[in-house]
Amino acid sequence: SDIDELEVGRWWKKIRIKKIRNLPNSQSTHTKIITIPEEKPDENKTKPSISVEQKNEKENSYYEIKSPMVGTFYRAPSPDSEPYVKEGDRVRVGQVLCIIEAMKLMNEIESDVNGTIVKILTENAQPVEYNQSLFLIER
């Protein structure tokens, strides 16, 4: 960037950024560019079967419920309770699907769509990341 010097101070902290140009006796660096030949596809390799392509196409047509936060995924309100939903269950908009515990708070995750639970993608009591897929729902 074109910054030569920047100083920012708040209360008891001070930050200074300085760009030094044209250092004397600086060692020049050289970049060597290496080109890697592109591999040609082998015509003898087998192509993926149609059923795999159809399966991927079908999975892509499902609606994904994703985790809105980092936390621990729970399928039921307590260890000895029935899970909120199971694979094959019909769900409605606003229905609770699971709980994600974050910072000792239990957050209910609700369905955004009406449909059928096709797959539960996370095991009970496992950590989940932000935006991680939790459920596949067929509309």
Residue 116 inside a domain? The answer is yes
Nearest 10 degrees: CA dihedral of 68, 70, 75, 79?
A: -140
Specify the CATH number for the domain of residue 82.
Answer: 2.40.50.100
The first and second tokens of residue 80, run together, are: 């000895």
Q: Is pLDDT larger for residue 30 or for residue 137?
A: 137
Residue 75 inside a domain? The answer is yes
pTM of this prediction?
0.58
Task: Give the pLDDT of residue 50.
Answer: 47
Average pLDDT score over the chain: 79
Residue 119 inside a domain? The answer is yes
Residue 8 inside a domain? The answer is no
| Cβ-Cβ contacts under 8 Å for 93 (sequence gap 6 or more) | 110, 111, 112, 113, 114
Domain that holds residue 81: 61-138
Structural domains counted in the chain: 1
pLDDT, tens only, 52-83: 455 555 556 899 999 999 999 999 999 999 99
Residue 45 inside a domain? The answer is no
pLDDT at 49 over 60: no
Q: What's the count of helices (H) and strands (E) in the chain, helices before strands? A: 1, 10
Residue 98 inside a domain? The answer is yes
